Amino acid sequence: MMEALSTFWVIHSNLILSLGTNALLALSIWLTLSCGMLAMANAAFMGIGAYTSAILTMQFGWPFPAVILAGMLAPMLAALIIGLPTLRLSGVYLAMATLAFGEVVRIVIINTELLTGGIGGIAGIPTSTEWWHMLLAVVCALFVLWRMRRSKVGRAFEAIREDETAAGLMGINVGANKMLAFILGAALAGLAGTLNAHLTFMIDPKEFGFDRGVEILTMAIFGGIGSLVGPVLGSAIFTLLPTVLSPLADFRLMVNGVVLVLIVLFLPNGIWDPARFKQWFGRKQGART
């Protein structure tokens, strides 16, 4: 029995651990989405975290806990700097600006070869991330977000998402709250990048580009952004889907695309939609996760 379990772990540990990485990423974009912002810089923040931590581990020999902290702080700082001018942009302009920032980050990484290994990336990163690190990170993130949601901060985010002007007139500092969501989102993405870099042995700039950004957004929307369950569920399904669909070979990604379109068309609030559950299973009052 124990043996079967350990074989299972050997085969599937990477998949299971990438569940954690993707859950953190989906939660990181959920933060900004819950505040009404379509910011697409999460892949870049993940990259900043991954590279910062890998460089600190390998070139400066920092201990792992300090590396994790730095891997979160560096993207937070970047978020603060680019958030100041960009967060006042609305809707699609914010999405475009953050996409452009992502490209800038990718190109900077490619062009600072001495530090980042350029296009080839960094290999030989010690695999310090244990399964319980990942689990703890996801649980902590969920706890913090859950507490936030049940406080004035969560209400402020929701108010801003629904109507920015009205939110401001409720005494909510719209700019500061958006910045908070953006920076916390960057921290989560950085955490995901750090843990993932110390899991997969190597990183390269391709992982943190446009496609990754789109994938992160997709996971969150797919699961549904109405609650915390949605992004976690969405990321889990999206992580496991390729494995489940592997018999389809080349057309496997196609199913991803079709599923995405169908979800958007027929389940506008994602898979996990408490309001719809209420409709289905009769009215139950109030409880929000």
Partner 1 sequence: MNALPMLQLQNVSRHFGGLKVLEDVNIEVPEGGVFGLIGPNGAGKTTVFNLTTGLLPTSGGTIRFQGRDIAGMKPHQITQAGIARTFQNIRIFKEMSLIENVIVGMHAKLRYGAVGLLAATARFRSEERRARERAHELLSWVRLDHKAHDVADNLSYGEQRKLELARALATEPKLLLLDEPVAGMNSGEKTELMHEIRNISARGYTIFMIEHDMRFVMGLCEHIAVLNFGRIIAQGGPDEIRNDPQVIEAYLGREDESEVAQ
Partner 2 sequence: MLDQQLVNALSLGCVYALFALGFTLIFGVLGVINLAHGAVFMTGAYAAMTVMARFELPLWAGLLFAFAFCGLLGLLIDFLVLRPLRARNAPHLIPMIATIGVAIVLNSAAQGLFGAENQRFPEGAISNDTLQWAGVRITVLELGIILFSFVLMAVLMLALKRTQLGRALRAMAESPKAAYLLGINVEGLFYLTSFAAAALGGVAGVLIGLYSNAMSPLMGQPMLHKGIAVVILGGMGDIRGAMFGGLFLGFAEVLSINYLGSTMRDAVTFGLLFLVLLVRPKGLFGTLQERKV
- Please check whether residue 205 is in contact with residue 119, taking contact to mean a CB–CB distance below 8 angstroms: yes
* Residue type for position 153: V
> Hunting for tokens 């993130």 — which residue is that?
141
The one of partner 1, partner 2, none whose footprint includes residue 153, by CB under 5 to 8 A per kind, is: partner 1
Please report where in the chains the tokens 């390729």 appear, as a residue: 242
Residue from 115, 166, 261, 264 in contact with partner 1 (CB under 8 A): 166
What string of DSSP letters covers 64-118? HHHHHHHHHHHHHHHHHHHHHHHTTS-HHHHHHHHHHHHHHHHHHHHH-HHHH-G
Q: Which of 50, 28, 40, 29 is nearest to 86 (CA)?
A: 40
**What residues numbered 122-151 form the site for partner 1, per CB under 8 A?**
144, 147-148, 151
Two tokens, residue 148: 């936030």
Is residue 282 within the footprint of partner 1 (CB under 8 A)? no
If the CB atoms of residues 104 and 115 are measured against partner 2, the closer one turns out to be 104
Q: Total number of residues binding partner 2 (CB under 8 A)? A: 41
Which of 8, 60, 93, 201 binds partner 2 (CB under 8 A)? It is 93
The answer to the question of residue 251 lying near partner 2 (CB under 8 A) is yes
165 binds partner 1 (CB under 8 A): yes
Look at residue 85 and give the partner it binds from partner 1, partner 2, none, a contact being a CB closer than 5 to 8 Å depending on partner kind. Answer: partner 2
Q: Is 179 in the site for partner 2 (CB under 8 A)?
A: no
- Residue 84 makes contact with partner 1 by CB under 8 A: no
* Nearest distance, CB of residue 181 and partner 1, angstroms: 14
At 157, the amino acid letter reads F
What CA–CA distances, in Å, run from 43 to 179, 190, 208, 249, 283?
18, 9, 5, 26, 39
Token pair 């042995």 is found at: 201
- 42 with 216: CB under 8 angstroms? yes
- Shortest CA distance to 48 belongs to which of 15, 81, 18? 81
Query: Are the beta carbons of 110 and 119 closer than 8 angstroms?
Result: yes
**Contact flag: residue 237 with partner 2 (CB under 8 A):** no
Contacted by 127, from partner 1, partner 2, none: CB < 5 to 8 Å by type: none
Instruction: Annotate each residue in 25-54 with x if it binds partner 2 (CB under 8 A) or - if it does not, as one string.
Output: -------------x----------------
Contact 66, 198 (CB under 8 A): no
- The Cα–Cα gap between 51 and 205 comes to 9
| Of 91 and 126, CB closest to partner 1 | 91
Q: Which does 81 bind (CB under 5 to 8 A by kind): partner 2, partner 1, none?
A: none
Q: Which stretch binds partner 2 (CB under 8 A): 83-91, 140-148, 169-177, 191-199?
A: 83-91
Residue 41, classed as helix, strand or coil, is: coil
Query: Which parts of this chain interact with partner 1 (CB under 8 A)?
Result: 144, 147-148, 151-153, 155-156, 158-159, 162-163, 165-175, 285-286
Query: Which parts of this chain interact with partner 2 (CB under 8 A)?
Result: 38, 85-86, 89-93, 95-97, 99-101, 103-104, 107-108, 110-111, 210-211, 214, 217-218, 221, 249-254, 256-261, 264-265, 268
